[in-house]
């Protein structure tokens, strides 16, 4: 259910400044987005799994907070990240 090391390292490499840049806001948002996609697929397959549904809502809230922070601090980077991740259409 959790992200694999390979997936995490590829996302960090793509959105971070270097391979160990996991604290970057862009990296955190990208990791949470991937986790949201996995949890969404799981919740569609197992609709009675309320623990997974609650976890999904918590992760979505975390990502929303980070997106609001990024929108406040770096608007152009925010817009580029939204477009690249395909979060809003």
| HSE toward the beta carbon, residue 53, CA cutoff 13 A | 8
Q: End-to-end distance of the chain based on CA atoms, in angstroms?
A: 27
pLDDT per residue as tens, the chain (89 positions) = 688 999 999 999 999 888 888 899 999 999 999 999 999 999 999 999 999 999 999 999 999 999 999 999 999 999 999 999 999 85
What's the pTM value of the predicted model, to 2 decimals? 0.92
């Amino acid at each position: 259910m959790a992200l694999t090391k390979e997936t995490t390292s590829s996302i960090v490499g793509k959105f971070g400044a270097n391979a160990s840049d996991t604290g970057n806001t862009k990296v955190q948002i990208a990791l949470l987005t991937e986790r949201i996609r996995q949890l969404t697929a799981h919740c569609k397959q197992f609709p009675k799994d309320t623990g997974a549904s609650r976890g999904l809502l918590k992760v979505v809230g975390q990502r929303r907070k980070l997106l609001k922070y990024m929108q406040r601090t770096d608007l152009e980077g925010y817009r580029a990240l939204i477009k690249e991740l395909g979060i809003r259409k």
